[in-house]
Structures are given as structure tokens and as C-alpha cells.
């Protein structure tokens, strides 16, 4: 008769180096976020109270306008998507300008612009809330990985929260832009630039990708719980 003994290792789980470095990075980001939130709350309070100096909002010109040169040439921008060349040598227009013209400026928000200041404050608060949700969700996922429970059922919920935070960014950008533009002087056809330098379409793809990733985590966690219950 051959006896086979099950060998059970008592060695505690040791998280990988990458997980520990990522966890440390998120801790540093959390500390930085605490500082940014504190400073942001202080600045917003001062701004809404009508104190402090004025500040500028980066914007770009919306609508038709012309760019004229000293030699009589001109480029007319009709709808922001196409250029009309005037007095250019035929066939040489593209040698001068290869893309559409984007005229940018800084719109000043003074102390008396309480509506603009309020909108900016709401945008900052919403952006900070989304950032906090993303960081805390990601930290919880990494903590479970370090604890040896990467497929915990709670991680599926955390990944969904992370996806919501990512998907909220382009929404905040669009709604904030529309709301802030309405507080500008109607005689100034400028559209405020609100963003983090990442295209909205990319944020949507990443957010949907994380949301899709949550489903396999959820199914794996349920399967793991079922296996543990049947042992």
C-alpha cells in the first residue's frame, strides 16, 4: 500500500515587490492628495468669499474670425473645423498652415464674478471627489492583493467604483465647461478649457475597460467562495 501525505506549507504569503512598490506609491499619492485637498478647500473658501485676487481661465475662441497678414493674405476660420485661404498662391496654402487655427486666450475672473468662482469651485470639488474615489478604491484593491486575496468579492465592487471615478472625469469636463461658459460675458465668444491633458475618448475607453474587468473578478470570487463552501 502506498500512502500519500498532503504537504501543507506554513510559510506565510509574501507579496511581490511590484505590489509593495505600487502600494507605497499610492500612499505617497494619498498624502499629496490630502495636501492638495486642504489647500484647495482653503482657496475655494477664499474665492467664494470674494477675497483674494483675480485669476485667469484658459480658453479658446469659438465662432468665425479672420487672421490677417501684413501682405494682404488672410485666413478665415468659419466654423472652427475648416480654413478659407485668401490671397494665397494657388496650391501653396497648405505650405503656410497645415491645420485649423485655434486662437487661445486667458479670460480673467475678477472678485465680482461670483457665479464664475462658484462654478470653478464646484468643478474643483467634483474633480477632487472623483480622484479620492479612484485612489481609495485602487488602494483597497492593492491591499487585498498584498494580503493574498486578489479575487476577493469586494474587489469587483472596488473596480466598479474606480471605473465610475474614471468615467466621471469627461462628464465633469463637459458639464463644467458648459456651465462656466454661461457665466462669461456674452460679448466674449470664448470657450473655457477644462481638462487634465488626457482626451475624453481615452478616459471613456479606460473607464469602460476597468468596468468590464470587474465582471471576471466578480465571477472568479463567486467561484472561489463556492469551492471553499464545498470543501
Q: What is the pLDDT of residue 229?
A: 65
Residue 8, in any domain of the structure: no
pTM of the model as a whole:
0.73
Give CA–CA dist 58/168, Å, rounded: 22
Residue 168 grid cell: 466621471
Residues 188 and 84 in one domain: no
Residues 173 and 126 in one domain: yes
Residue 92, in any domain of the structure: yes
Give CA–CA dist 46/20, Å, rounded: 39
The pLDDT tens digits along the chain (231 residues) read 444 444 444 555 566 678 788 888 989 999 999 999 999 888 888 877 777 677 778 787 766 677 777 777 777 776 555 667 777 776 655 555 555 566 777 878 877 788 888 888 899 999 999 999 999 999 998 888 888 887 778 888 899 999 999 999 999 999 998 888 888 877 767 788 887 778 888 889 999 999 888 888 777 767 766 666 666
3-state secondary structure of 33: helix
50: left (phi over 0), alpha (psi -120 to 50) or beta: left
Domain residues for the domain of 67 are 58-107
Last residue in a domain, options 107, 136, 169 = 107
Residues 86 and 189 in one domain: no
DSSP-assigned states of every residue in 110-125: -TT-HHHHHHHHHHHH
- What's the total number of domains in the chain? 2
Residue 3, in any domain of the structure: no
Give CA–CA dist 151/75, Å, rounded: 59
Residues 98 and 157 in one domain: no
Q: What is the pLDDT of residue 4?
A: 43
Amino acid at each position: 500500500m502506498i500512502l500519500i501525505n498532503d504537504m501543507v506549507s506554513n510559510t506565510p504569503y509574501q507579496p511581490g515587490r511590484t505590489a509593495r512598490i505600487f502600494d507605497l506609491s499610492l500612499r505617497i499619492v494619498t498624502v499629496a492628495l490630502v495636501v492638495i485637498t486642504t489647500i484647495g478647500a482653503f482657496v475655494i473658501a477664499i474665492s467664494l468669499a470674494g477675497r483674494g485676487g483675480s485669476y485667469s481661465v484658459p480658453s479658446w475662441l469659438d465662432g468665425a474670425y479672420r487672421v490677417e497678414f501684413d501682405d494682404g493674405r488672410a485666413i478665415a476660420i468659419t466654423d472652427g473645423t475648416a480654413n478659407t485661404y485668401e490671397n494665397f498662391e494657388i496650391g501653396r496654402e497648405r505650405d503656410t498652415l497645415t491645420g485649423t487655427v485655434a486662437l487661445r486666450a486667458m479670460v480673467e475672473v475678477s472678485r465680482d464674478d461670483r457665479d464664475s468662482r462658484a462654478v470653478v469651485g464646484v468643478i474643483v470639488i467634483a474633480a477632487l471627489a472623483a480622484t479620492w474615489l479612484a485612489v481609495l478604491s485602487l488602494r483597497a484593491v492593492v491591499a487585498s492583493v498584498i494580503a493574498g486575496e486578489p479575487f476577493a468579492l469586494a474587489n469587483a465592487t472596488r473596480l466598479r467604483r474606480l471605473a465610475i471615478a474614471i468615467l466621471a472625469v469627461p462628464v465633469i469636463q463637459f458639464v463644467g465647461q458648459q456651465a462656466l461658459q454661461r457665466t462669461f460675458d456674452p460679448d466674449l465668444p470664448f470657450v473655457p478649457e477644462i481638462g487634465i491633458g488626457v482626451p475624453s475618448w481615452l478616459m471613456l475607453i479606460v473607464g469602460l475597460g476597468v468596468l468590464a474587468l470587474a465582471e471576471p473578478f466578480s465571477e472568479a470570487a463567486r467561484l472561489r467562495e463556492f469551492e471553499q463552501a464545498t470543501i
